[in-house]
Amino acid sequence: MAAAGPTRRSTAPPAKAADAPDFPRPLTTVDLVIFTVRDEALQLLLVRRAEPPFAGQWALPGGFVDIARDADLQACASRKLREKAGVQSPYLEQLGSWGGARRDPRGWSATHAYMALIPTEGMTLRHGANASDAAWFEADELLAGTAGAQPLAFDHEAIVRAGVERLRSKVEYTSLPAFLLPEPFTLPELQRAYEVVLGRPVDKSGFRTRMLAGGFLVEAGLVPRGTRRPPMGYRLASRDAPVVFPRTFGPRGAG
């Protein structure tokens, strides 16, 4: 928040008090791009809108900020994530905000978009009062603009695009994909998650070196996986934040 008195148009009604600025207030919402890895693909959760505007169309899960219940934006996002996906401690990161006069026919609106990474194993989708349906969509198919695909509500396609871009970008140098898998997971599984998100193969040897050097994995015993030699299972040492692998530029360890 900030300064109080930008130029007011003289035709507007007089301010009633410094305590409550009389600027017309935009609608304020929070939307979520919830990612997971399912069926060897990067997927995200959408809900079908039951009411106007954009009734019947798919949209990101989200909704209005409830100033009586939500202490702040992050708490609002957590609440909606709980309501829609029943998740407790996911990775949650702010993606940015989108606001303007035309994105919602009900008026000038601004949404605060968050990106969440969750494992999908044994998950049951819950529906909000306004969502007549919810389903997972492959990110690439959604953005490819396949013929016959319905457009998303509002400007949600732009938000999804930003989310996918942010995720792909960060996966290049962080341990983020680990948040997409149920624990314990194995290194080959983690590698597959990287490959699915990045859309390209990753070298096995370098991958292992990198992950283990990151020091964010804790051994959790061998995990029999049907076929042959059982791989080592791992858990995250901390769910607080992803590990950032060294970047370019600057003295060796100082990135």
Partner DNA sequence: TTAATAGTGTCTGTGAGACAATATGTC
Partner DNA sequence: GACATATTGTCTCACAGACACTATTAA
Interacting residues with DNA (CB under 7 A): 186-188, 203-206, 208-210, 222, 224-225, 227-232, 246, 248-253
Strand bridging mode 109-117 / 27-38: parallel
Q: Parallel, antiparallel, or unpaired: how do β-strands 232-236 and 217-222 relate?
A: antiparallel
* Of 155, 68, 34, the residue nearest 76 (C-alpha): 68
- State the CB neighbour count (10 A cutoff) for residue 230: 13
Work out whether 15 is an interface residue with a copy of itself (CB under 8 A). Answer: no
Which DSSP symbol is given to 249?
S
Q: How far is CA 101 from the centre of its chain?
A: 24
Is residue 82 a contact residue for a copy of itself (CB under 8 A)?
no
Q: Tokens 């490819």 correspond to what residue? A: 144
Among 37, 45, 59, 117, binds a copy of itself (CB under 8 A): 59
Least spacing, CB of residue 219 vs DNA, in Å = 9
Is 23 a residue that touches a copy of itself (CB under 8 A)? yes
Interface positions, 83-102, toward a copy of itself (CB under 8 A): 83, 94, 96-102
User: Two tokens at 246?
Assistant: 């060294």
Look at residue 247 and give the partner it binds from a copy of itself, DNA, none, a contact being a CB closer than 5 to 8 Å depending on partner kind: a copy of itself
Comparing CB distances to DNA, the nearer of 69 and 252 is: 252
Amino acid, res. 40: E
Verify binding: residue 21, a copy of itself, rule CB under 8 A.
yes
52 touches, from DNA, a copy of itself, none (C-beta below 5 to 8 Å by class): a copy of itself
Could you tell me the two tokens for 185? 């997971």
User: Segment 186-245, which members bind a copy of itself (CB under 8 A)?
Assistant: 198, 200, 210, 245
Residues 92, 78: contact at Cβ < 8 Å?
yes
Is residue 147 near a copy of itself by the rule CB under 8 A?
no
Q: In angstroms, what is the minimal distance from the CB of 213 to DNA?
A: 8
